[in-house]
Amino acid sequence: MKQNGHVQLIGNSTVITALKAELERVARSDAKVLITGESGVGKEVVARAINAASARANEAFVAVNCAGIPETLLESELFGHVKGSFTGAYRDKPGKLEMADNGTIFLDEIGEMTLRMQGLFLRFLETGEIQKVGAERVSMATNVRVVAATNRNLRDLIAQGQFREDLFYRLNVIHLVVPPLRQRREDIPALVDFFLRRFAGPDLPTNGNGNGHAVGNGNGALGGNGHAHRYTARAISPAALSALCEYSWPGNVRELENVVERLVVTGRREVIDVDDLGPEIRTPSSIAGRPRKERRKTVADELFKKLVDDRESFWTSVYPMYMNREITRGNVRDLVHKGLEEARGNYRIVLRLFNMESRDYKRFLNFLRKHDCQLPFKEYRQ
Ligand X SMILES: Nc1ncnc2c1ncn2[C@@H]1O[C@H](COP(=O)(O)OP(=O)(O)OP(=O)(O)O)[C@@H](O)[C@H]1O
Residues lying near Mg ion in the complex (CB under 5 A) are found at: 44, 108
* 17 interacts with ligand X by CB under 6 A: no
User: Which residue sits closest to Mg ion, CB atoms considered?
Assistant: 44
Q: CA 270 to CA 100: how far, in whole Å?
A: 44
Residue 312 touching ligand X (CB under 6 A)? no
82 near ligand X, judged by CB under 6 A: no
Stretch that binds ligand X, among 34-42, 75-83, 154-162, 267-275 (CB under 6 A): 34-42
Q: Does 45 bind ligand X (CB under 6 A)?
A: yes
Q: 168 CB contacts (<8 Å, ≥6 apart)?
A: 154, 155, 158
- Told to check if 257 binds ligand X by CB under 6 A, we report yes
52 is a site residue for ligand X (CB under 6 A): no
> Considering the rule CB under 6 A, would residue 34 count as an interface residue with ligand X?
no
Binding region for ligand X (CB under 6 A) out of 252-260, 312-320, 357-365, 366-374: 252-260
- The answer to whether 42 contacts ligand X (rule: CB under 6 A) is yes
Q: What is the CA radius of gyration of the chain?
A: 24
Nearest residue to ligand X by CB is 42
DSSP per-residue string spanning 66-116: -SSS-HHHHHHHHHEE-TTSSTT--S-EE-HHHHTTTSEEEEETGGGS-HH
Report 352-381 residues binding ligand X (CB under 6 A).
none
> Quick one: 217 or 248, whose CB is closer to ligand X?
248
Distance CA 266, CA 274 (A): 14
Q: Which is nearer to Mg ion, 101 or 108 (CB)?
A: 108
Would you count residue 43 as binding ligand X (CB under 6 A)? yes
Residue-wise over 332-355: b if at least 16 C-beta within 10 A, else e? bbbbbbbbbeebebbbeebbebbb
Under the criterion CB under 6 A, does residue 274 sit at the interface with ligand X? no
Interatomic CA distance for residues 136 and 124, integer angstroms: 16
11 binds ligand X (CB under 6 A): yes
Does 8 help bind ligand X (rule: CB under 6 A)? yes
Q: Is the dihedral of CA 184, 366, 298, 246 positive or negative?
A: negative
- In whole angstroms, the minimum distance from the beta carbon of 62 to ligand X comes to 15
41 lines the binding site for ligand X (CB under 6 A): yes
The window from 3-11, 51-59, 98-106, 121-129 that contacts ligand X (CB under 6 A) reads 3-11
**Beta carbon nearer to Mg ion, 38 or 75:** 38
Q: What's the full length of the chain, in residues?
A: 382
Contact indicator for 253, 191 with CB cutoff of 8 Å: yes
Smallest CA-to-CA distance from 174 within 57, 64, 39, 36 is with 36
CA distance 246 to 258: 17
- Expressed in angstroms, the distance from the first to the final Cα of the chain is 62
- Side-chain-side CA neighbours of 316 within 13 Å: the count stands at 21
Verify binding: residue 39, ligand X, rule CB under 6 A. yes
Binding window for ligand X (CB under 6 A); candidates: 43-51, 111-119, 133-141, 159-167: 43-51
Interface with ligand X (CB under 6 A), residue from 10, 57, 135, 221: 10
Q: Please report, as residue ranges, which positions from 175 to 204 form the binding site for ligand X (by CB under 6 A).
A: 194
41 binds, among Mg ion, ligand X, none (CB under 5 to 8 A by kind): ligand X
Which is nearer to ligand X, 194 or 319 (by Cβ)? 194
- Interface residues with ligand X (CB under 6 A) are 8-11, 37, 39-45, 108, 151, 194, 253-254, 257
